[in-house]
């Protein structure tokens, strides 16, 4: 194909113990999926429908990176999340069949320019600038679903400079993963390469240059991120 200019390679994520990497097609994220977190941001908790937003694959950032403190914000937050990696097509799947399309899981950080997100929310505007920015979707290597086992009461935690800030159980999700995939698949033809960030527990907070974040889900490789000076 004759292209006017070259683009960066397709972003991809390592898979633990394998040579081949997981190429990233789309990044879906769900908001307010843990009750205590919804409350801490002053939101009502309901089960009307999951709240979806997206990040571009260009926002992907690998665990272990040092990133510049993001531009245009004075209140950049971490949000520790379980990420599901989709490995098979799914359209209008039932919750019962939904986990069949999950290739694996990873620890991820949904970095958020909270000031921009809050300003957008207040006006009923889209969240894009608050959520979809360079290095805003941090991800650790993917562990195959079979090796991880069923999602149950695994602990999900985040420490900031060694201090525990988020500490919850995957069982606390308002929308369990099968229901998230079933809902998303009503609106999109999910396909291999799609990632789903499944929401964050309570305890989100601001980062500052020099911070070291470490997020863990029992049974997965941890996600680590260092915040450098502003670009």
Residues at the site binding Mn ion, with contacts judged by CB under 5 A: 79, 110, 200
Nearer to Mn ion, 16 or 134 (CB): 134
Q: How far apart are CA 50 and CA 188, in angstroms?
A: 14
Q: How far is the CB of 33 from Mn ion (least distance, A)?
A: 8
Nearer to Mn ion, 16 or 169 (CB): 169
Q: How far apart are CA 30 and CA 8, in angstroms?
A: 27
The two structure tokens encoding residue 11: 């972003």
Nearer to Mn ion, 15 or 77 (CB): 77
In sign, the C-alpha dihedral spanning 102, 94, 60, 131 is negative
Helix (H, G, I), strand (E, B) or coil at 228: strand
Q: How far is the CB of 79 from Mn ion (least distance, A)?
A: 4
Q: How far is the CB of 188 from Mn ion (least distance, A)?
A: 18
Nearer to Mn ion, 15 or 33 (CB): 33
Helix (H, G, I), strand (E, B) or coil at 65: strand
Q: How far is the CB of 37 from Mn ion (least distance, A)?
A: 8
Q: What strand order describes the sheet that includes 223-230?
A: 65-69, 223-230, 212-217, 155-160, 163-169
């Amino acid at each position: 194909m004759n292209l006017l200019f070259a683009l960066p390679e397709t972003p991809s994520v390592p898979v633990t113990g394998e040579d081949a990497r997981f190429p990233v097609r789309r990044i879906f994220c769900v908001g307010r999926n843990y009750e205590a977190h919804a409350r801490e941001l002053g939101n009502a908790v309901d089960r009307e429908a999951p709240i979806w937003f997206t990040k571009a694959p260009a926002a992907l950032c690998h665990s272990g990176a040092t990133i510049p403190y993001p531009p245009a914000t004075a209140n950049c937050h971490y949000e520790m999340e379980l990420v599901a990696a989709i490995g098979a097509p799914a359209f209008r799947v039932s919750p019962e069949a939904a986990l069949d399309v999950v290739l694996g899981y990873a620890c991820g950080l949904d970095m958020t320019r909270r000031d921009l997100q809050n300003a957008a929310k207040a006006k009923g505007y889209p969240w894009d600038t608050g959520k979809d920015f360079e290095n805003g979707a941090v991800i650790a290597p993917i562990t195959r679903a079979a090796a991880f086992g069923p999602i149950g009461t695994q602990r999900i935690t985040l420490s900031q400079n060694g201090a525990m800030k988020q500490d919850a159980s995957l069982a606390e999700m308002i929308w369990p993963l099968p229901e998230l995939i079933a809902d998303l698949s009503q609106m999109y033809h999910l396909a291999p390469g799609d990632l789903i960030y499944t929401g964050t527990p309570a305890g989100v907070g601001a980062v500052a240059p020099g911070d070291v974040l470490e997020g863990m889900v029992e049974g997965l490789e941890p996600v680590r991120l260092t915040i450098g000076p502003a670009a």
